[in-house]
Chains A and B, each alone.
Chain A
């Protein structure tokens, strides 16, 4: 599968195959879970929403499909796509294959915001707002400090460094909150939230989070050619006619909005934003024109598959954030070992 990377025909087939695979996994995911529903029934229930069909299923089944499984499946797709696409965009913009969506502090900020909301006993909506606001705040701080610091220098490098420092600062506040939280009620709540899960998702969460995520995806897809050029460095990109400041702002705003929304509904889900872009590059090469949409599809597919596992492996759900790393890391190492191409393919 990885050998015909240089063949445009192979790329075209993969581009067609990914959405098809995604649709198959999408419908298959409705079948998975403790309440057994056959695939025919699932399809009939969904089709029943659009055309009139004889109701041979129970209303429980309809509730499971629409109220429980549908929101969760869509959330997995959205979060996976958001993390993978923003990770891929950042890797190009910062010309660094080690960058993940959290590099400017969005994850640390969102964690702090959520933990603070939990500490102050807000409800789930409050926690989500806290996470989103915390993520946006951390990146805003990073952005303005680094733009101010790098008037004459390499903005990208300064930005990464500032992001790491701001992230650390927010993480230390998070530790402080955990330390002062009630160890029998609040501390476990914070800890579980940080592990990442889609178990308690409902349709409203999905609706609210889908707006910034879809918007961000659209913007990144539109400016994706510029990311190719940006990966050669800021000066070269400028000389090739790219308004680097504008691209940078658009990419950062989009990626931050998407990641903060993803973290707000799912908690911390690591690794997807780091390794999926590499998977996409292994599959279709580094050209963002093709690679970014592919990363989006793989991210959505990967997180949906892992979430399906998270709900079925054990009687008790395994937090999604743990599983993504547990499955993703060895899989990625396996791919690296099996790829003879040099460089960060």
Chain B
């Protein structure tokens, strides 16, 4: 299955934030979108998820234009993992995850035992079954992020859209979340589109990387092709060196800042 954006422009009212972007993701692939603050990554996600109307272009799921799809049909194919925030009421983790089943329920019904079992399985997949009866508002930010991923899994979509899944997490939790994403792509054959501010995260877990620069310059390719020292210099204005670590066969690229001026 393929999620494809074709010549998409989007924004608010008459202002265009993203113009003429085309990209495609297949199931079993992860696409990492990199770009500085305010460049329109979240706006692009809003457009894919149908929160805002496209100004031009189309979005296809398996060559079918989704612009007239109902919320429910779209939710069965595309799940959304927002940045974790506090809801006003102290729901239990299992209740939050069960909400992922909403798209599969008829408008007037509530989840059944079967839906609850699917939610519990999603908790198992992410290895957070121990959180099941904890109160969602009282667990840590990293745990909450994992719970939101579990909720999206309970939705049983083919694609996941993740808005900075590693934002506000400590170092350990960042890697845990990235490992889970890698696992979902590999073992559950999900297609993932995520944004991040860390080039190293893109090197670590993305099969494709898209970078958006100022003036709507847009490039897509493998991490090695797209994230270059030149790119990081032009976009962020910092001197960076990209090096390879590990054995030749499965080496990992990382970028490290080199301080040129301040010793």
Identify the A interface with B (CB < 8 A). 6, 91-92, 95-97, 152, 222-226, 228-229, 231-233, 235-236, 238-244, 246, 281, 285-287, 289, 341-345
Contact = CB atoms under 8 A, between A and B. Distances in A.
Interface string B156-198: 0000010000000000000000000000000000000000000
A239 B241 CA distance: 39
A97 B88 contact: yes
A152 B155 contact: no
Given A97-B88, A225-B111, A342-B138, A239 B13 contact: no
A233 B151 CA distance: 15
A241 B102 contact: yes
Contact of A223 (B74, B79, B108): B108
A285 B103 contact: no
A236 B82 contact: yes
Contacts of A244: 71
A341 B110 contact: no
10 contacts: A152-B52, A224-B110, A233-B87, A238-B51, A239-B80, A240-B155, A241-B102, A244-B71, A285-B91, A286-B90
Interface residues of B, number: 43
Nearest to B86: A343
Contact of B91 (A91, A228, A235, A241): A228
Interface of B: 12-13, 46, 49-52, 70-72, 74-76, 78-80, 82, 85, 87-92, 95, 99-100, 102-105, 107-111, 133, 135, 137-138, 151, 155, 161
| Majority DSSP secondary structure for residues of A touching B | loop
A343 B137 contact: yes
A152 B89 contact: no
A344 B91 contact: no
A344 B82 contact: no
A239 to B, nearest CB: 4
A216 to B, nearest CB: 15
A242 B72 CA distance: 7
A235 B50 CA distance: 9
Given A225-B110, A238-B71, A231 B103 contact: no
B49 A238 contact: yes
A229 B108 contact: no
Contact of A239 (B75, B110, B137): B75
B102 A345 contact: no
B91 A286 contact: yes
B138 A289 contact: no
Given A224-B110, A240-B75, A240-B103, A231 B80 contact: no
A281 B135 CA distance: 13
